Amino acid sequence: MKELELQKAFMLIEPGPVTMIATSHKGKYNIMTVTWTMVMDFTPRFALLTGPWNYSCEALLKTKECVIGIATADLVETILDVGTTTGRDVDKFGRFGLTPLPASEVRAPLIKECYANIECRVVDYIKKHNIFVLDGVKAWINKSHKDKRILHARGDGTFIADGEIFKRRKRMGDKLPPGV
Q: Which residues bind a copy of itself (CB under 8 A)?
A: 8, 10-11, 14-17, 35-40, 47, 49, 73, 76, 80, 83-84, 124, 126, 128-131, 133, 149-173, 175-177, 180
Give the span between the Cα atoms of 10 and 80, in whole angstroms.
24
Cβ distance to a copy of itself smaller for residue 104 or 126? 126
| Minimum separation from the CB atom of position 118 to a copy of itself (A) | 14
Using an 8 Å Cβ cutoff, are 93 and 29 in contact? Answer: yes
Omega prior to 44 cis, within 30 of 0: yes
Cβ distance to a copy of itself smaller for residue 107 or 152? 152
Backbone torsions φ then ψ of 77, nearest 5 degrees: -70, -35
| Minimum separation from the CB atom of position 71 to a copy of itself (A) | 11
| Minimum separation from the CB atom of position 168 to a copy of itself (A) | 5
Cβ distance to a copy of itself smaller for residue 103 or 153? 153
Cα atoms in the Cβ-side hemisphere of radius 13 Å centred on 96: 28
Cβ distance to a copy of itself smaller for residue 11 or 137? 11
Give the span between the Cα atoms of 175 and 130, in whole angstroms.
31
Q: What is the DSSP letter of 174?
A: G
**What number of other Cβ atoms are within 10 A of residue 146's Cβ?**
9
In DSSP notation, 32-59 reads EEE--EEEEETTTEEEEE--TTSTHHHH
| Minimum separation from the CB atom of position 112 to a copy of itself (A) | 22
| Minimum separation from the CB atom of position 103 to a copy of itself (A) | 23
